[in-house]
A and B are shown apart, each in its own frame.
Chain A
Amino acid sequence: MNIFKYFGEVFGAIRSLWAGMRVTGYYSIRPGKVVTQQYPENRKKLVIADRFKGEVIMKHDSNNQHTCNGCGICELNCPNGSIEIISNKITNAEGKSERIIDKHIYHLSMCTFCSLCIKTCPSNSITWGQDFEHAMFDRNKLTKVLNQPGSSIRKEIKEVKETKEA
């Protein structure tokens, strides 16, 4: 009786190992079922989701105009202080004092990608960009100015607000 139990255990063990080996063998002879991607080589046909949180960018149109009026709500809402807004006050042609954004500074190195700035932006002027290759040799290169040089504010901000609500 004892010897039967012994050999029973041995054959049970071999059967259990065989069950596992069958799974790995199934995939080793079917290379079409392999899902691994070769990343740096497939960079050209890489599909990134539209909503992927790569970095914060400011939307500019073809006339190099954006909708940011420098209200500073994104700066207030950022939990880590990764957004700094430097704005100037000028008097426009009608004689009213107006706030104009000088620099929208974004520290990517401090950002935790919580998307509070984008959710609370009243003029819908910043959004997520899909660039994800952020490795740099110098940390200072991760500090970016989001408004492009020479850009100006679009006058139809009100229209943008209405479309956002609708």
Chain B
Amino acid sequence: MEEVFQDIIIKHSDDYIINMGPQHPSTHGVLRFELCLLGETVKYIIPHCGYIHRGIEKMCEKNTYQQIIHLTDRFDYLSAHMNNEAVCLAVENALEVEVPERVKYIRTILAELNRIASHQLWWCAFGMDLGALTTFFYGLRDREYILDIFEESFGSRLLHSFNYPGGLMHDLHPNFQQKVKDFIKYFRKKLPEYDQLLTGNIIFQQRSIGMGYMSKEDAISYGVTGPSGRGSGFKCDVRKHHPYSAYSKVDFKEILYTEGDTFARYKARIDEMWESMNIIEQLIDNIPAGDYTAKMKPIIKLPVGDYFQRVETARGELGCYIVSDGNKNPLRVKFRTPNFSNLFIINKIASGNKIADLVAISGSLDLVIPDIDR
């Protein structure tokens, strides 16, 4: 019990309080940190969220199960495909529908492509937070290749509501396989550039190694998942431990770093890009032929009960909990979003550091603000 109460912040009337955000370039959205400063050192940090709350969970209660899908794009917009997949899998499990093998393979490939695109943008923004503007151009250059593949196959670059309960919206573009193979060939050559530009840089290393230490116990008790948690040695990869879609058929290793600092979280994400490329290469040639959707009724009514499905997004574990009363609308939908849990460890790992290091630490947690507030 004592450990829990260590985190309670005691405010004094003579604290020097300054606000970082809600419109601050390094918070990547509308997030406000209430900082108590002692000179340049941060004494404590209170995150205030809710500036971009749209009430998606409440909106889901008015919509049908097909209409929920496009709302889930809007919380973690950089891993839109995995968010869609969570709802689709929950609905399919509830109806006990067996989706075709082709759908499972395509979903896995798209999820991994989306993960690479998300980590590329994180790499751009993280370098920019630390003052390396060059990384922003090089990361976005490679991300454009993935977005072009997405645009050709399902019409939109970022918020692609491509999943549909029972399968996919429509079939893949005929060029898809060739373009993905070209991209993997291209990106295998370009990813070492990332290491040359930023990973080996002495300024970057001195600002990240040993900074913002998160222990494995902290990561577990705060529920920090994804590459942030795996940087502290917390084995939390849903793809590995609770496989869904085609993840049980591929051979990949869970990236684990035990250092727990900003640099370990950075390395975990860079290694995940390599691992995602391995997964795609194993699947891209073996997409089975068949239908792109299972036979579904036009109006989906889930049986009475509650259903839960979790997937691994680019930032951690996303849970989708649906309570149904037998109607065409859900009674209640709850999303356990990864960024909400990842945010609140910031006081524990960043207090005691300088403000400039707070920027580096919050950048290494890879926060997407609409995912926190939803």
Contact = CB atoms under 8 A, between A and B. Distances in A.
B70 A112 contact: yes
A14 to B, nearest CB: 8
A16 B201 contact: yes
Interface string A97-126: 000000000000000111110011000000
Given A113-B159, A114-B70, A17 B201 contact: yes
Interface string B183-204: 0000000000100111011110
A1 interface: no
Contacts of B71: 79
Contact of A120 (B141, B144, B298): B298
A136 interface: no
Q: How would you classify the secondary structure of chain B's contact residues: helix, strand, loop or mixed?
A: helix
Contacts of A112: 70, 159
B161 interface: yes
A119 B153 CA distance: 15
Contacts of A120: 298
Contacts of A17: 201-203
Interface residues of B, number: 33
Given A77-B66, A79-B67, A79-B70, A51 B155 contact: yes
B97 interface: no
Interface residues of A, number: 25
Best-buried of A49, A77, A119, A128 by chain B (most CB within 10 Å)? A49
Contacts of A52: 151, 155-156
A19 B196 contact: yes
Contacts of A128: 155
Interface of B: 63, 66-67, 69-71, 134, 138, 141, 144, 148, 151-156, 159, 161, 164, 169-170, 173, 193, 196-198, 200-203, 205, 298
